[in-house]
Structure 1
Amino acid sequence: MKDLLVILRSSILLPPNTNAKPKPSLSHYSTKLSLSKTQTPPSASRPPLLSAARWDLAAAQRRLRYYTDLASRLAEGGRFEDFAMMAESAVASGVEPADFAAMLSAELVSAGVARMVGEGRVWGVVEVLVRAEKIGIGALKMVGGAAVEAIARECRRIVKGGEVEEAVKLMETLAGFGFSVKEMVEPSEIIGLCVRKHDPSTAIRYACILPHAHILLCTIIHEFGKKGDLVSALTVFEAFKKNSSGPNMYAYRTIIDVCGLCGDYLKSRSIYEELLAKKVTPNIYVFNSLMNVNACDLRYTMHVYKHMRNLGVAADMTSYNILLKSCCLSARVDLAQDIYSEVQRLESTGILKLDLFTYSTIIKVFADAKLWQMALKIKEDMLSAGITPNTVTWSSLISACASAGLAEKAIQLFDEMLLAGCEPNSQCCNALLHACVEACQYDRAFRLFRSWKESGFCKSFGEDYNANKYSNTGVKLAHGNSSNNMSNCTAKSHNLKFPRRVPFTPTTATYNILMKACGTDYYRAKAVMDEMNIVGLSPNYISWSTLIHVYGGSGNVENAVQILSSMRQAGIQPDAIAYTTAIKVCVERKYLKTAFSLFAEMKRYQIKPNLVTYNTLLRARSRYGCLQEVQQCLAIYQDMRKAGYKSNDYYLKQLIEEWCEGVIQNNNQNDGKFISCEETDLGGPHSLLLEKVAAHLHKRNAESVAIDVRGLTKVEARIVVLAVLRMIKENHAQGCPPKDDLFINLGVKIIGTTTAEDKFELEDAIIKLLRDELGLEVILSGTKKVNSVTSFDSYANAEKILVSNRFPAELESSARRPAVLQRLKIPRKSLQFWLRRRISTRR
């Protein structure tokens, strides 16, 4: 028989003895554990009346009790290393793990665990639990409520410290032991911390250890989306798909909504297409989310709607509301009317029931289109259906009248809203003030504002709202300065209970509208902005731009431009709108040099001009007086085209044509006939002529001038040639005479084709312009390019054939006809003589 001696902290534990003295402390104990199940029990002599089997069983139980009591005290004292060794030895000696765990004192072990966790040694506890699990002793059977609560407190402490990964690792381990970790820490805290740290992997691990992980994963996807972290949301979504047995419509709906929150509607489309590729039919909620995210694109939204119907998915009220929203964003009033009629038809058959959102959306569609009468008609339909308008509905109605400049109607609607017991928001108040400004009732706007600010609104409270019981109290009710009006409000409807004062809180938009109401009184506008600062509101870009407009309207261009510097001093970088407003002021007051300098300043500060900026500058002049002005506007035009804006080139072409024709109009030898763009079809792309002119006028003086008129019509070629000649004339006046011959490239002419006929007409038109109208010498020149079968004896012969439009019969049947690069040359001497002649003629 072999014995195993276990030494605990250099002390030997002795077996219990009935005659022994009281036991000293645990640190002085030692014992000798037998590996044999038939060892003589360490107790008093065997009673003679008991059988051997019963005696062995009783001895084993006493021995187990002794060891479990000892192990429990070791755990209570925090000596978990000794506790683990005791448990391992007991199991190795033949004790059943379940029996050992059952005999342990859960209270003492839990107290020891709580003590150890409180000392910050939670991972030491985990190590002991791991060792216990290996020998078959369940952790849940050893640890009680006090220990679990201590571990939960430690988890919460770790989470509050921001160490989310360590907290999740700890809970993963505890979940492996069978602990319920959901109650340890609020899931929203873990998810929120992972979202703030942009840590989707930890969030996924945490969700997987909780029940209903699929719901929690969708919540995590949405939380990442609310923070604009689409990449992390997609990471969680992919993990969801891997752990899911099939497509989950709730998850797809959530990720599509997140694409909308993050502004990536194209990604939502690819997710939808991925679902269709799996031969899965989305449900109505997925379709609605997809249409809502893509509501800015009416064409795609209607495509999804039609596809949904083709798949047999019935549209609900939300679907039609989203379609109306898309029509509103796209300003498609006609389509919105059709959808509204369809919904009304479905409601009459009992399939659908129109809700508040439907009515409010269609009202906003008409309001944005300034169709205030139709918007009011929808309001009557809404009241007839028993649906009470809310603040958004009233705001849209007031805005509809405000956009049409109907201040009286807007105020009437505002009073009706107050009588209905609906509390106005800042948008309603701003819409009413805007109505006064649009109607040029500036003083009325200020009176309303001061009245609201001093006494607020008189709002009545009641259960129902009767559309036929309006009170025609006018502005007095809104002012709230008449007690009779309040009593009338109560008397005219039996459902109204009592009036109450609702405070008015102005916003930055409110003060911006009041600044517009200042007209050209910039002192008053500046006072409004100062008041905005006093009440704790910061002027925004619109505020500063409005102030610039007010200064400009009064003719104070210098101060209007100076506001841009004031914005920078206030810590606000002027944007494109502020600069455009200042440029517009300069253009209207004929400060063109300042306007173009502001545009150059925008480019230096890397502020991208908008379409209004470009159009304002391109229409700044009614005529061009010099080459520099033409070059300046052409440079702006080219910059506009590069920025992706499309413009109407007609106005700019007229000005350039007028400037070019000035070469002929000032010619005393020949008055020259002005060929207007209105009389002649310029043809071709709108930008080709201007690009050609810009390309030639931006050349340096030292370069040899060569005009390329390929691809242009006769009128366009005329303008380009005249533009270059005027540039040469102005450079000559500044002391830069032409240094080389002037060449005009007509392009390659193929013998015997219709294109060649057109090029003869272009050539004749240019020669007529240069020789007859300007008196310049023109020489026809070019280089030949012939095929390998037929060749000309000399270039003179080729030129003769081209000019006379006659060529040998054998060339007519040839598949490859000769081609000649045709050019016109104006000798330098002829140009110089022409320039001197014009100078002497003016003298």
Structure 2
Amino acid sequence: MRNFVIVFSFSSSVITNPHHRHNHRRCYAAAPEPNRKTKSTSSLTKQLQSLPQQQSASSSSSSSPLSSSANPFSNHFSDAVRWIPDGSVEYYADFASKLAEDGRIQDVALIAETLAAESGANVARFASMVDSELLSKGISLNLRQGKIEIVVYTLKRIEKVGIAPLDLVDESSVKLMRRQFRAMANSVLVEKAIDLMEILAGFGFKIKDLVDPFDVVKICVDISNPQLAIRYACLLPHTEILLCRIIHGFGKKGDMVSVMTAYEACKEILDTPNMYIYRTMIDVCGLCGDYVKSRYIYEDLLKENIKPNIYVMNSLMNVNSHDLGYTVKIYKNMQKLDVIADMTSYNILLKTCCLAGRVDLAQDIYKEAKRMESSGLLKLDAFTYCTIIKVFADAKMWKMALKVKEDMQSVGVTPNTHTWSSLISACANAGLVEQANQLFEEMLASGGEPNSQCFNILLHACVEACQYDRAFRLFQSWKGSSAKEALYTDDIVSKGGSFSPNNLENHGSGSLVNSNSSPYIQASNRFFFKPTTATFNILLKACGTDYYRAKELMEEMKSLGLAPNQITWSTLIDICGGSGDVEGAVRILRIMHSAGTRPDVVAYTTAIKICAENKSLKLAFSLFEEMRRYQIKPNWVTYNTLLKARSKYGSLLEVRQCLAIYQDMRKAGYKPNDHFLKELIEEWCEGVIQENGQSQDKIIDQEGTDLGRPVSLLFEKVATHLQERTAGNLAIDLQGLTKVEARLVVLAVLRMIKEDYMRGDVVTDDVVIILGTGEANTDSGKQESAVKDVLVKLLKDELSLVVLPAGQRHLIDITQDAQLVDDGNQDPEHTSENTISIVGISSTRRPAILERLMVTKASLRRWLQRKK
């Protein structure tokens, strides 16, 4: 076989003792005997450390003819490598062991690879003769130096030549690897860590022992890399568990794209359908609010003839619990598929009924569950009873709720805190404060531990019943004394007893507590709960108009580390405004901005309401414009408050302002109070008659809303005509209006003309009134005739204006708006400004013939001057 020898060109100054010279000469031995094991001393390996620095010095020496650029070993050691035909495998194995002992495991791998390339037959002998203990020691040395990447890639190289990597990694090395992998997994090097773990997994290494799998998944989720997470999951034995964790992690993050990526990978990786995967996927759809996709997943299972288990069905019903019809459908499908419903199924059905407000259906489900319990098929739990109690509580059916409590106690189920909260809420919603307090006492006597929700419910019940002092007494007892003491004191007050601050103190240490007649001996524990923001919001409502008391509560709230929310600020604004301090209310709104809480529609509406009630209408409308600038959408209360802010209109600007709000309200989908606004506009329009000093003779609307037509058409007509005029002529379109509505529109236009005239605008054109196209014998024609009579009487008799029939004119729909055009037959008093040429008439379209009236501009000028 071919052998090689490594030649090192050391200077004479390096070798200072005979032992070194002896070993140096052995390195140059031309042909060691094949069966003799050659050994080198540790001093040789120490001299090898200077090899990289000497490569440049030896580059001028002549290299062996056997060394070539194609040999990686020759390239690494430059001219220091010389192949000798008589070299022995034992010698190279011994030399590699010494290199490993010194931590130069990469050089060991290089020797093995070179030997495999030059003499593949001796690779197995070399692998068996290398000292594994020294090689393991070298690996441990590199791991202590933090060179985990070098170790892993070296193990990969030597594994190719027959050296088993697992035999070289002892327990201490595993601990070192675990420490470095955990550091990499918790940093940006997680991808590099997974690359290295994939190599180790190829050796059969137990990857789960290196890092916490959930930590790696969390990092991959944080960096939004589902592919990397899936690669890691495939390295572990229980891949499906990690895949579920990956799907759930991205679901909590709301990243549905990554969720679907992981889901599709699951279907490719797993050979058989996994119900745990499907259940997790459906739950994630609920987390992301994509309930439609959860239905698609279920339908795909049915198409593939895969029978879902009870857990998948329950998750599907829970995600779709907002849809009562679909949830009931799934429940029926469970019966068709022979999937037996469990207690969770009935709890979800009750929850769905609670959300839908279906008390009747909830009762039926509850009866069925009790029937199955009596048959031994189910065992109702506290959640079931709590849910059905909440159904009755929301429906204010407190007697039914108490009946359910008796049912659960009869079967030995102890009510938990949530059950007691629901029971107390049932009585509180019905306004039964005393009953709610009795339930609270019963909870304490039975050993129940009330939470903040219980106390908040009691406080809310007191406030809703206007028992403000009782609410504050309960709050004070909550902060530092027994909750039972406050209830006992309330009981004394409710029975006609006197109350003073000393009563609480005496009750806490005196004979009242120790009396055998006291119902509170069994539970005299003192409860120290930290109030929540909701607690202070409830108490603020109990302040009424006492702003200073509310301000003290705000300070106490901040001292406890609680931040006011939008409800808190809105309530404070309302309290300040209730005392008539409009500026203070608006100032709180500004402070809310500066405090970092973005005002919502409730806060702005509260401030607008206060301004409207105190006749600060200009400020109210400015706040409305401000909330629009902040892109806060007004609600029905906001619009209605502004529309009702005025008892009458004083100017055209005010009318235009309210009409704009009215139109915006209708566009937003809210139904305004048409009749209220109609009365205001009517009053403003009839002011034209009153200013003439004539008696106001309104016509009773016999048609109005009795015909089923919305009053909004009137406001749309008025709003259209009261916009700023941009054209020279003015045409009033009264088509489709009743007599009273037509009268209001004409009066509104006349008032607009009058106010414009007062500002300096001159009347330059006649006013044309379009009545319609109805024929005399039709219902519409009769209505137009009645409208014409009313208008002629109004304009001629009441306002002394000149009204002439405009004749039959043609109307051409050039744009979407109806425009009046002249057919060339003008009346004598009609000026040239009214003449509009007919253009664009299609030969296939016959123009409609309109009946019109005309108020001359000369009479309008005389009317305006007379009023001036």
Specify the TM-score bucket, using the shorter chain as the normaliser.
Answer: 0.7 to 0.9
Q: Which residue pairs with 1:522 in the alignment? A: 547
Q: Which residue pairs with 2:257 in the alignment? A: 231
* 1:609 aligned onto 2:630: no
Q: Which residue pairs with 1:41 in the alignment? A: none
Q: Which residue pairs with 2:70 in the alignment? A: none
Q: Which residue pairs with 1:531 in the alignment? A: 556
String of CA shifts for 1:630-664, please: whole Å, max 9, x gaps. 22122122223333444454433443345445556
Distance 1:629 1:133 in 2: 90
* 1:760 aligned onto 2:781: yes
Task: Give secondary structure in 1 for the equivalent of 2:178.
Answer: helix
* 1:557 aligned onto 2:556: no
Q: Are the equivalent residues in 2 in contact too, given 1:742–1:827 (CA < 8 A)?
A: yes
Q: Are the equivalent residues in 1 in contact too, given 2:686–2:696 (CA < 8 A)?
A: no
Tell me the C-alpha RMSD between the 2 structures.
4.0
Q: Which residue pairs with 2:535 in the alignment? A: 510
Distance 2:705 2:687 in 1: 18
Per the alignment, do residues 157 and 630 of structure 1 end up closer, same or farther by CA in structure 2, a change over 3 Å counting?
A: same
Per the alignment, do residues 26 and 700 of structure 1 end up closer, same or farther by CA in structure 2, a change over 3 Å counting?
A: same
Task: Give secondary structure in 2 for the equivalent of 1:501.
Answer: coil
Per the alignment, do residues 317 and 724 of structure 1 end up closer, same or farther by CA in structure 2, a change over 3 Å counting?
A: farther
* 1:81 aligned onto 2:80: no
Q: Which residue pairs with 1:801 in the alignment? A: none
Per the alignment, do residues 623 and 130 of structure 1 end up closer, same or farther by CA in structure 2, a change over 3 Å counting?
A: same
1:585-734 alignment runs, 5 A limit: 585-661=610-686, 663=688, 671-676=696-701, 680-681=705-706, 683-684=708-709, 687-700=712-725, 704-710=729-735, 717=742, 719-734=744-759
Equivalent position amino acid for 2:97 in 1: S
**Post-superposition offset of 1:560:** 1.7
**Post-superposition offset of 1:216:** 0.5
Query: Among residues 750, 764, 769, which one is paired with 2:790 in the alignment?
Result: 769
Q: Which residue pairs with 2:806 in the alignment? A: 779
1:184-223 alignment runs, 5 A limit: 184-223=210-249
The runs of 5 or more residues in structure 1 that have no matched partner are 35-61, 460-469, 787-793, 798-815
Q: Are the equivalent residues in 2 in contact too, given 1:630–1:656 (CA < 8 A)?
A: yes
Distance 2:472 2:272 in 1: 63
Equivalent position amino acid for 1:820 in 2: A
String of CA shifts for 1:45-71, please: whole Å, max 9, x gaps. xxxxxxxxxxxxxxxxx9766554443
Equivalent position amino acid for 2:788 in 1: I
Per the alignment, do residues 94 and 562 of structure 1 end up closer, same or farther by CA in structure 2, a change over 3 Å counting?
A: closer
Q: Which residue pairs with 2:867 in the alignment? A: 839
Distance 2:780 2:28 in 1: 119
- Scaled by the length of structure 2, what TM-score is found? 0.79
Distance 1:538 1:676 in 2: 56
**Post-superposition offset of 1:817:** 10
Task: Give secondary structure in 1 for the equivalent of 2:447.
Answer: coil
Per the alignment, do residues 361 and 98 of structure 1 end up closer, same or farther by CA in structure 2, a change over 3 Å counting?
A: farther
Q: Which residue pairs with 2:183 in the alignment? A: 157
**Post-superposition offset of 1:346:** 3.8
**Post-superposition offset of 1:597:** 1.9
Per the alignment, do residues 266 and 615 of structure 1 end up closer, same or farther by CA in structure 2, a change over 3 Å counting?
A: farther
Task: Give secondary structure in 1 for the equivalent of 2:700.
Answer: coil
Q: Are the equivalent residues in 1 in contact too, given 2:489–2:504 (CA < 8 A)?
A: no
Distance 1:669 1:490 in 2: 81
Equivalent position amino acid for 1:352 in 2: L
Q: Which residue pairs with 1:389 in the alignment? A: 415
Distance 1:620 1:241 in 2: 63
* 1:426 aligned onto 2:452: yes
**Post-superposition offset of 1:472:** 12
Q: Which residue pairs with 1:172 in the alignment? A: 198
**Post-superposition offset of 1:393:** 1.7
String of CA shifts for 1:252-287, please: whole Å, max 9, x gaps. 221221222233334434444444554545433233
**Post-superposition offset of 1:668:** 6.5
Identify which range, 62-71 or 556-565, moves more after superposition.
62-71
Task: Give secondary structure in 2 for the equivalent of 1:781.
Answer: strand
Per the alignment, do residues 126 and 120 of structure 1 end up closer, same or farther by CA in structure 2, a change over 3 Å counting?
A: same
Per the alignment, do residues 24 and 330 of structure 1 end up closer, same or farther by CA in structure 2, a change over 3 Å counting?
A: closer
Distance 2:661 2:401 in 1: 43
Q: Are the equivalent residues in 2 in contact too, given 1:456–1:504 (CA < 8 A)?
A: no
**Post-superposition offset of 1:231:** 3.0
Q: Which residue pairs with 1:583 in the alignment? A: 608
Distance 2:408 2:622 in 1: 55
Q: Are the equivalent residues in 1 in contact too, given 2:139–2:151 (CA < 8 A)?
A: yes
Distance 1:552 1:20 in 2: 101
How many residue pairs get aligned? The number is 769
* 1:450 aligned onto 2:449: no
Distance 1:777 1:341 in 2: 79
**Post-superposition offset of 1:207:** 0.8
* 1:354 aligned onto 2:380: yes
Per the alignment, do residues 708 and 134 of structure 1 end up closer, same or farther by CA in structure 2, a change over 3 Å counting?
A: farther
Distance 1:189 1:542 in 2: 39
* 1:829 aligned onto 2:857: yes
String of CA shifts for 1:283-337, please: whole Å, max 9, x gaps. 3323322332233344444454455555554443323322322332333334433
Equivalent position amino acid for 1:164 in 2: V
**Post-superposition offset of 1:219:** 0.8
Q: Are the equivalent residues in 1 in contact too, given 2:201–2:207 (CA < 8 A)?
A: yes
Equivalent position amino acid for 1:421 in 2: G
Q: Which residue pairs with 2:69 in the alignment? A: none
**Post-superposition offset of 1:217:** 0.7
* 1:340 aligned onto 2:366: yes
Q: Are the equivalent residues in 1 in contact too, given 2:643–2:658 (CA < 8 A)?
A: yes
Identify which range, 190-199 or 224-233, moves more after superposition.
224-233
**Post-superposition offset of 1:552:** 1.8
Q: Are the equivalent residues in 2 in contact too, given 1:331–1:369 (CA < 8 A)?
A: yes
Distance 2:441 2:128 in 1: 78
Q: Are the equivalent residues in 2 in contact too, given 1:419–1:471 (CA < 8 A)?
A: no
Distance 1:563 1:300 in 2: 47
Q: Are the equivalent residues in 2 in contact too, given 1:692–1:720 (CA < 8 A)?
A: yes
Distance 1:20 1:757 in 2: 127
Distance 1:400 1:513 in 2: 18
- Scaled by the length of structure 1, what TM-score is found? 0.81
String of CA shifts for 1:751-802, please: whole Å, max 9, x gaps. 89xxx9344234323312321233243424322899xxxxxxx9899xxxxx
Task: Give secondary structure in 2 for the equivalent of 1:325.
Answer: helix
Q: Which residue pairs with 1:739 in the alignment? A: 764
String of CA shifts for 1:231-262, please: whole Å, max 9, x gaps. 32232222222323354332222122122223
String of CA shifts for 1:446-482, please: whole Å, max 9, x gaps. 11211221224469xxxxxxxxxx9999579999725
Q: Which residue pairs with 1:4 in the alignment? A: 3
Q: Which residue pairs with 1:547 in the alignment? A: 572
Q: Which residue pairs with 1:813 in the alignment? A: none
Distance 2:376 2:744 in 1: 69
Distance 1:715 1:305 in 2: 59
1:33-432 alignment runs, 5 A limit: 67-88=92-113, 90-91=115-116, 93=119, 95=121, 100-276=126-302, 278=304, 280-309=306-335, 311-432=337-458
Task: Give secondary structure in 1 for the equivalent of 2:543.
Answer: coil
String of CA shifts for 1:135-178, please: whole Å, max 9, x gaps. 34432244433333333222122123332111111111211222
**Post-superposition offset of 1:503:** 1.6
* 1:820 aligned onto 2:848: yes
The runs of 5 or more residues in structure 2 that have no matched partner are 10-23, 52-63, 67-86, 494-502, 797-802, 814-821, 826-843
Equivalent position amino acid for 2:101 in 1: E
Per the alignment, do residues 693 and 488 of structure 1 end up closer, same or farther by CA in structure 2, a change over 3 Å counting?
A: farther
Distance 1:693 1:244 in 2: 70
